[in-house]
Structures are given as structure tokens and as C-alpha cells.
Structure 1
């Protein structure tokens, strides 16, 4: 996860704690919005994913679809460009650890998500 967070902070200017919370919120969103077991596989195989989920401190994604996720991330101080960068980097990092097939299943399992990543 340190590698992922280093890339995110370099590209977005976010501090490490905020980047970790943003990643955790996205993972919480995927867990809440998908019933595909691929989400659990992706989280289990992506280094640091469990810690990122824990870093949200319970105030990560709380339901309401992709618009609620976006609002939550903006509430953390991210702009749209930063949100896209975090999502893109997380997907790429997860693909390299959990496999493209698993991550693609996760993305396909959440309606409307594919257009954002």
C-alpha cells in the first residue's frame, strides 16, 4: 500500500492520511454496493486494503451510490481530478496484485462504475 499511497500523494498533492482514507472509502463503497465475492478477493489480495478500510474510522462510505461516494470524498477535501486519480491508481494497483479478471469483475458488478474508472 505504501507504493500506492506514494503514487497518489505525488500525483494529487494529498497527504498520506487523506489518501489512505480515500482509498478506504472507495473500498468500502465497493463492498457495500456489490454482492460479488470478487470484492472480497480483491481486498484480501491487495496489500494494505484492510488497513485502508480501517483508516476510514467508520466515516467512510455509508451508502447512497456513487454520488454519495463522490460527496464523501469531496468532504475529505478531494476535487474531481483527485478522485479520478485515486480511483485509477487503486484499480491499477489492485489489478497488479489481485489480477485483472478479479478487478474487472468488481467493476462490472457495480452499476455505473465502469464509466468512472
Structure 2
């Protein structure tokens, strides 16, 4: 298990089997709405993110909105990401906890300025963190 999953589990009491794919969904959503350079910066600062992205790719398109997010705008993408996390059995409150800790961890690893720019630009991310 990764330190981020352990951290979220410890702080929230959530099941690590739900937290791990939820982090993947979050990071994949961020990656899909970021530039290639931003993704590379994120991966350099937080190398384990690549593993989380692979987790999400393996579970992608299972929610109600499925693959619609890739065909529609980013605001629908956040709804699809939220839907995927609820299919894991997470509540909206649980999702906010996972999102907040994931963004905070990214802030620690990649820096506050870089992370805050992404949070401000990615549609819906600021509302769930």
C-alpha cells in the first residue's frame, strides 16, 4: 500500500480497498484535464501517481456515465469521476475527504503553487477539495 492510501485510511477510517481506486480516479481526472507538462511535473514530484493512474485505467468506464466523460466536456468529467467513486461505495463526504488528502499530498510533493494552479483550473476540483 502507498503512504497516501495509508494516510487517508488513518485520517478518515475509510477502507483502503476503496481509497486506493478512488485516488486513482482523482489523479486520472486531474491528468485528463492537465497539460502534458503538468502531468510530467506531477509524476516527477509524485512518482507513485503513475501507479494510481494505472489502477484507474483498469477500472475506468464502470460508472453510470462510463466513457461519456472522455467524449464530453470536463464538467461532465467531474460528474463521471464522482459517479465512479460512489460506485466504490463512497459517500460524497468520503469523496471530499479522499480529494482533500490527495490534493494536500500533491501540494506537499509538487509544491503549493503548482497544485493550486491545477485545482483552480480543473473544473469541479476546487468544489470537492
TM bin (shorter chain):
0.7 to 0.9
1:69 alignment partner in structure 2:
81
Larger radius of gyration: 2
Per-residue CA deviations over 1:63-101 (Å, capped at 9, x if unaligned) read 232111111100011111110010000011111111011
1:4 equivalent to 2:4? Answer yes
Q: Which has the higher contact order (CA 8 A, sep 6+)?
A: 1
Aligned length: 117
Q: When the two structures are superposed, what TM-score results if normalisation uses the length of structure 2?
A: 0.77
User: Quick check: 2:78–2:123 contact (8 Å CA) kept in 1?
Assistant: no
Aligned counterparts of 1:8 and 1:115: Cα–Cα separation in 2 = 19
Correspondent of 2:122 among 75, 91, 110: 110
The 10-residue stretch of structure 1 (83-92 or 2-11) with the greater mean CA deviation from structure 2: 2-11
Aligned counterparts of 2:82 and 2:18: Cα–Cα separation in 1 = 14
1:13 equivalent to 2:13? Answer yes
Structure 2: tracts of 5 or more residues without a match: 62-66, 70-75
User: Quick check: 1:12–1:85 contact (8 Å CA) kept in 2?
Assistant: yes
Structure 1: tracts of 5 or more residues without a match: none
Q: When the two structures are superposed, what TM-score results if normalisation uses the length of structure 1?
A: 0.84
Segments of 4+ moved more than 6 angstroms: none
